Structure formats: structure tokens, C-alpha cells
């Protein structure tokens, strides 16, 4: 393969996750059925609220990764169906609690759950889904999977708190920021991939390779998301452009622009992260500053770097449709920004 992931030469089709979706489609139906079954409850608001997020617009990216990794290892059982549903429940619980924490208006292009059902029910339904995730793992019975996912959950929660604390701290270093997004986002991608290695019983080196693939893919995804917030619009992204900016959410483009900027630029970014720059004009100025300092472009360059690591992590796996789909997923993660 070429040295750069991002290949959009004339005549070459744009990277997509169609290959991944085709690879796992039949099994994903089985996973979806488990998800629908297990979010039921005699308390009617639970499936209604959970379904708002689970049924609506979610790509099921993490379950698809579990399924594709299991296929990569020629695993022929069905244990990973329940487990990937479990991963999706953990993810959804995190999103619900995020909506409460962030006070976001839109999630996956729909009104955020907390705005419809209130913060209270949203917190509690998150707790419910989180508990259901563990029930699914317990039914599977693998202590190794339980360990991976309970650790991932603890790391995610720590990462969320950490992010909350750095949210408006403009002096946060790039490395600190990478720690935060690794904990908050990449660890669950990693776990989703690793558990395929557990059910396929392929040993620690194989698990580690899948873990690395997932973790680096997750970092790349997040960095591209960070860049996109300053690039695209609400229609294409399912969340308002500039949300991060208006919420004073510190992301890599801002960290880079601040570090590279002069006194006046730094004052702008400090004001912005402290909530004194929230107008459309401010956002336009932010985008201009990010462009002139190369901060969005370099955020994407960092993303490409992690994408390369992800691809190389599974480079020695046997070729086939699963490997192709997993590599193409990395390219898609990067190419979304273009």
C-alpha cells in the first residue's frame, strides 16, 4: 500500500465503510436483534429513550469492528454477537451521559435525549444500559472479556472526568489531550476489536494486534471529528458546526493554534475557551485562524499518522475480505474530512 492513507486520486473511488458493512451485514442483524431484545423493560420510558439513540442513526461501528475482527480470525461461533451488543450498550450509555454532561442540542442529527426526556431519565437509562452490558457479558461467561470491558469502562469514565477538567484549560498539551481522547474514545474501539481475539482464542499477541488496531483507529476517528467541527456544517455531520468552539471544548486544532499563535491569537483562543467568543463571527474568525496556522491541516496529519499505525497493526494478518474492510475503514475515517 501507499505511504499515505488518504488517496483520492482521480478515478479512484472514495474510501467508504461499504465494504465493512457488506462483510458483517448478516451478523449485524443478529446483533441488532440482541440489542433490541435487551433494551426492553417493563418501564416504558427505558426502551423509548434508549431506542431514540440506539435505533436512530447509529452506525454500529463498534459492533461492526468486533464482527469484522472475528471474521479476520476465521472465528465461526456466535459468542461475539452478545459481546458486541454489550459494547454498543456501553457506548450508548456513555453517549447518554455525555449529552447530560455536554448539554448538546443534537446527537446523530436528532434532538438529544436529555432535551426530550430530561437529564434525570437520561442519566438513569444510561445506568440501565450499562448494567445490561454487564449482564450480557456475564451470560457469555468469559472473565477475560469482563476484565477487558470493565477496565475499558473505568478508563472511559476517568477520561470523561479528565476531559471535563481540561475542557477550558487552553494550556493543555497535545500529549495530555491524546491521553484524554485515548481514554474517552479509543479504548472502547480497542476493546471492541480485542474481544474478537478472546472469543477466537488466538492468544495474547493476536489480541494485542487487534487492540492496537482499534485504539489507533479510535484516535484517528476522534482527531478527524475534531477537525470536522471546524470544517463542515450541521447537515452533513449531525451536529452543529462549531459546537466544540461554542462550548469551549478544547480539541487539538485549538491546542495547536494557541501554541503557534502570537499574543493576540492567544488572547482570542483564551477568550473563546472561557466562553467569551460564541457568535457566528467569532466562529468564522476561529476557522480563519485555524486555517492560517495550519492547525486543522496538521490535526488531520496527526490523524493520518494514527491511521497508519492501525493499518500496520494488522499488516501481518492473512489477506482477505475482512482485512481489506478493516483497512478501508481506516481510510474512510481519515477521508471523511475531505
For a second copy, the binding residues (CB under 8 A) are: 41-43, 45-46, 93-94, 97, 100-101, 119-121, 123-128, 130-132, 134-135, 137-138, 141, 143, 146-147, 150-151, 153-154, 156-158, 160-162, 164-165
| Cβ closest to a second copy, residue 84 vs residue 295 | 84
In the bound complex, what is the minimum distance in angstroms from residue 302's beta carbon to a second copy?
A: 23
* CB 131, min distance to a second copy, A: 4
Residue closer to a second copy by CB (options 36, 234) is 36
Nearer Cβ to a second copy (21/146): 146
- Give the nearest distance from C-beta 306 to a second copy in angstroms: 22
Q: How far is the CB of 114 from a second copy (least distance, A)?
A: 11
Minimum separation from the CB atom of position 30 to a second copy (A): 22
* 128 versus 221: smaller Cβ distance to a second copy: 128
Q: How far is the CB of 46 from a second copy (least distance, A)?
A: 6
Q: What is the 3-state secondary structure (H, E, C) of the chain?
A: CCCCCCCCCCCCCCCCCHHHHHHHHHHHHHHHHHHHHHCCCCCCHHHHHHHHHHCCCCCCHHHHHHHHHHHHCCCCCCHHHHHHHHHHHHHHHHHHHHHHHHCCCEECCEECHHHHHHHHHHHHHHHHHHHHHHHHHHHHCCHHHHHHHHHHHHHHHHHHHHHHHHCCCCCCCHHHHHHHHHHHHHHHHHHHHHHHHHHCCCHHHHHHHHHHHHHHHHHHHHHHHHHHCCCCCHHHHCCCCCHHHHCCCCCHHHHHHHHHCCHHHHHHHHHHHCCCCCCHHHHHHHHHHHHHCCHHHHHHHHHHHHHHHHHHHCCCCCCCHHHHHHHHHHHHHHHCCC
Amino acid at each position: 500500500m501507499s505511504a499515505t492513507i488518504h488517496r483520492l486520486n482521480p478515478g479512484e473511488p472514495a474510501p467508504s465503510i461499504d465494504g465493512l458493512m457488506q462483510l458483517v451485514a448478516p451478523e449485524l442483524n443478529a446483533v441488532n436483534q440482541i440489542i433490541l431484545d435487551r433494551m426492553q423493560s417493563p418501564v416504558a420510558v427505558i426502551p423509548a429513550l434508549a431506542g431514540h439513540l440506539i435505533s436512530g442513526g447509529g452506525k454500529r461501528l463498534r459492533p461492526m469492528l468486533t464482527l469484522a475482527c472475528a471474521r479476520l480470525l476465521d472465528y465461526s461461533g456466535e459468542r461475539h454477537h452478545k459481546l458486541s451488543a454489550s459494547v454498543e450498550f456501553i457506548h450508548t450509555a456513555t453517549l447518554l451521559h455525555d449529552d447530560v454532561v455536554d448539554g448538546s442540542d443534537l446527537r446523530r442529527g436528532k434532538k438529544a435525549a436529555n432535551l426530550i426526556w430530561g437529564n434525570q431519565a437520561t442519566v438513569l437509562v444510561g445506568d440501565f444500559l450499562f448494567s445490561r452490558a454487564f449482564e450480557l457479558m456475564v451470560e457469555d461467561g468469559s472473565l477475560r472479556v469482563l476484565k477487558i470491558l470493565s477496565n475499558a469502562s473505568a478508563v472511559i469514565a476517568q477520561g470523561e472526568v479528565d476531559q471535563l477538567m481540561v475542557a477550558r484549560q487552553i494550556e493543555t498539551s497535545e500529549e495530555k489531550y491524546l491521553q484524554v481522547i485515548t481514554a474517552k474514545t479509543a479504548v472502547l474501539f480497542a476493546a471492541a476489536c480485542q474481544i474478537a481475539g478472546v472469543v477466537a482464542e488466538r492468544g495474547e499477541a493476536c489480541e494485542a494486534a487487534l487492540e492496537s488496531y482499534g485504539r489507533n483507529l479510535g484516535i484517528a476517528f476522534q482527531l478527524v471529528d475534531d477537525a470536522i467541527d471546524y470544517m463542515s456544517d450541521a447537515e452533513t455531520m449531525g451536529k452543529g458546526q462549531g459546537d466544540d468552539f461554542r462550548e469551549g471544548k478544547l480539541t487539538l486544532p485549538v491546542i495547536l493554534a494557541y501554541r503557534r499563535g502570537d499574543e493576540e491569537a492567544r488572547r482570542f483562543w483564551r477568550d473563546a475557551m472561557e466562553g467569551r467568543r460564541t457568535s457566528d463571527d467569532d466562529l468564522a474568525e476561529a476557522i480563519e485562524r485555524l486555517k492560517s496556522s495550519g492547525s486543522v491541516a496538521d490535526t488531520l496529519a496527526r490523524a493520518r499518522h494514527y491511521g497508519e499505525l492501525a493499518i500496520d497493526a494488522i499488516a501481518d494478518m492473512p489477506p482477505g475480505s475482512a482485512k481489506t474492510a478493516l483497512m478501508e475503514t481506516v481510510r474512510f475515517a481519515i477521508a471523511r474530512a475531505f
